[in-house]
Structure 1
Amino acid sequence: MKISVLTLFPDMFNGVFQSSILKNAQEKGAVQYDVVNFRDYTEDRHNRVDDYPYGGGGGMVLTPQPVFDAVNSIKTESKTEPRIILLCPQGERYSQKKAEALANEEHLILICGHYEGYDERIREHLVTDEISIGDYVLTGGEIGAMVIADSVTRLLPGVLGNETSAVTDSYSTGLLEYPHYTRPSKFLDYEVPDVLLSGHHERIDKWRREQSLKRTYERRPDLLENMELSEEDKLYLKTLNKSEENS
């Protein structure tokens, strides 16, 4: 996969793309990062990429020309039609499901905005997706682009040491992930649940499933509303509900 990022602040990505799993992924050849300063594409003689909004109002708006030209330049070198993503508060709320969909693409172009917003023609005639990483406003799209790059890269084949890690993550199954424990089995009088020390894999799988259901029920019950649950899952959730009513 290739991930191209259009930004006015390319230095922000140095630490992210040159550290930890994202760096290892690039060294393994699983992904290639390309950070582009779209100011380099402006035709404005003062090197500006923004202007006052028509109709008045506060703030400055990113002009379409530098962004269009930067994207078109990247596309001419792309082997496939890239997915062009606009980071903005009005976009689709980002989710694990979206990350999994994007991980199937060969080329992503992430456009990071700044100032008051984008010229609407960028939104209407250039991008394929608009994504928001949450219901809040940041100073720019760079952090959102980092979130997408990280969440997508870790899903690529060969990136994580354990291939099952990404499959069992919170949200990948639709549920929050079950608790994890490691050595020592007893720490400050706090002990690891006996079932995890039993070596009985069926019992361990059942315990983990129930813990995922319990954690989701307690913390994110909204995730259970549209989930396809087994009869065993439903029965366990009923016991949780009864226990809550009796407490």
Structure 2
Amino acid sequence: MDMDMDMMNTSPAWWTPAAWIYLLACVISAALLSYEIYGRRQPQQVPAMKPVWPISALFLGPLTLLLYARWGRAHRQNDTAPRPAKMTWLLMALLPGAAASTVAHLIGVPLVFGAGWTIAGEALWAVALFILILATVMLFVFEAAAAAGQRVSRPVGLFLGAFMTVLAFDVGMVGWMLYLHSGGLMQPITHVVFTAQMQIGMLLGMLTALPIAGWLTPKSVMAGASTPT
């Protein structure tokens, strides 16, 4: 308890209200996208991306609404909007990995800390390993579904691509967590500021995964995303 209080004393007072505001914006964005995709059954350019958009909103917030409006919906035949460019494919390669890591994080953090699992005496390493394994499996399943019926990489290639993407994501995410931990800035996992800190980690993870996602795009997501449905 004293350790938690000491950590809280090292954080600026404005972190708490800012974290609540952003968390609320993220939840509302995720709810709106869920209603748009599942409630209204809005046609998607990439059907496999349906669950990815609401999950992405949990850390990208309202920005996801803009990305979805531009690149998520299937355009009508008479729509004058330009055909999606390579940025679309890059986004489709990047968001699924980030979404998989987000879900793995939501499961892994309370599970690992609650069970008291550690590696080399640190729960942080156990969390990182758990997220790497679970997120890789989820991303592989997504890419296999997105590539169904397409002549893309074989299962081994898809799995290695998923592993490399999640590993690159973890460079930013875990690096951020190490920075917070070493600086005494990481908040208790039950505090809203911890949630905001992890959302920042998701964004940093997307940046470190960007080169790998760009390299893998032609082999995985592009084939499944090139034809609007």
Normalized against structure 1, the TM-score is what?
0.29
- Structure of greater relative contact order (alpha carbons < 8 Å, 6+ residues apart): 2
Q: Which protein is richer in helix relative to its size? A: 2
Normalized against structure 2, the TM-score is what?
0.31
Q: Which protein is richer in strand relative to its size? A: 1
